[in-house]
Amino acid sequence: MKLRCLIVDDEPLAQRVVEKYAHEVPFLEISGKCGSAMEAMEVLHKEEIDLIFLDINMPRLSGIEFLKSRKHTPLVIITTAYAEFALQGYELDVADYLMKPFSFERFLKAVEKAREIFAKRPGKPAGKTEEQDGEEQIIFVKSSKKTYRVNLEKILYIEALGDYVKIFTEDRMIVSYQSLKNIETMLPPQRFPRVHKSFIVSLSRIDLIENNQIRIRERLIPIGTNYKSDFEKLIVSL
């Protein structure tokens, strides 16, 4: 599944930054670029767009005015140098708010969030994954000065360690400076439930469940009291 994206920004350099970042993300597809909100309106009349990267400060019609003028708008990630419009943006239900200049890692976080929202929108097939479209499902994870491409099929479990998480896969362990809650938002919950305040597991990798513990390979993972009920309901529903 790819998200068809439209870049709306009157600054060519800003357009190029978003386009460059988007080309590095397999589930994004740039359908067009517009220098104004008026141009974007024309594109939306002709094409089906899933996600808009929208600047705020543009001639004739600002990004905020553009959002207010439409009854039905694709998902929107605002890209701007003006922090004072953040509240207005969130009141208009945007997926995220990127402050220029933003890093590739921050961009990734925003588009992962948009993808999660898109997958839950009405009319989307429940439980559909990229594998069903013939594509592998992946996330990008930053570790130190490197960004790793991680195939979800290879993840065994994820463990919180203070301000870090450890992602255990079939062939390696990646340490990333982020919260478990943050990485939880990047994963499909039906496949990667949180079973403890410090653990997320891959359902397909569970070998055994016994005595409030999950065994994945040689590792025993506790099932937390606050997570037990939801986990049991998920298992029963499979």
The CATH number that domain 140-237 falls under is 2.40.50.1020
What is the per-residue pLDDT for 158?
97
User: Which residue do the tokens 């919180």 mark?
Assistant: 160
Q: How far apart are CA 34 and CA 177, in angstroms?
A: 35
What is the per-residue pLDDT for 17?
96
Q: Are 184 and 194 in contact (CB under 8 A)?
A: yes
Q: How far apart are CA 109 and CA 140, in angstroms?
A: 9
Domain ranges of the chain: 3-119, 140-237
Q: How far apart are CA 134 and CA 118, in angstroms?
A: 19
What is the per-residue pLDDT for 103?
94
How many of the other CB atoms lie within 10 Å of CB of 188?
16
What is the per-residue pLDDT for 127?
38
What is the per-residue pLDDT for 18?
96
Residue 13 buriedness (CB in 10 A; 0-12 / 13-18 / 19+): exposed
Give the chain's end-to-end CA distance (angstroms, integer): 23
Q: Are 130 and 189 in contact (CB under 8 A)?
A: no
What is the per-residue pLDDT for 88?
62
What is the per-residue pLDDT for 122?
53
- Note the pLDDT tens digit of each residue in 162-221: 889 999 999 999 999 988 988 888 888 889 999 999 999 999 999 999 989 999 999 999
Q: How far apart are CA 79 and CA 229, in angstroms?
A: 40
Q: Which two tokens stand for residue 112?
A: 């992962």
What is the per-residue pLDDT for 131?
41
- How many residues would you count in the chain? 238
Class for domain 3-119, per CATH?
A: alpha beta
What's the Cα-to-Cα distance from 52 to each of 88, 101, 138, 189, 216, rounded to whole Å?
17, 18, 21, 25, 40
What is the per-residue pLDDT for 74?
87
What is the per-residue pLDDT for 130?
41
What is the per-residue pLDDT for 136?
55
Are 3-119 and 140-237 the same fold in CATH? no
What is the per-residue pLDDT for 8?
95
Q: How far apart are CA 221 and CA 210, in angstroms?
A: 10
Per-residue pLDDT of the chain (238 residues; tens, 9 = 90+): 689 999 999 999 999 999 999 999 988 999 999 999 999 988 988 888 999 999 988 888 888 888 888 767 789 999 988 776 656 655 677 888 899 999 999 999 999 989 888 877 654 433 334 444 444 588 888 888 888 889 999 999 999 998 899 999 999 999 999 889 888 888 888 899 999 999 999 999 999 999 899 999 999 999 999 999 989 888 876 6
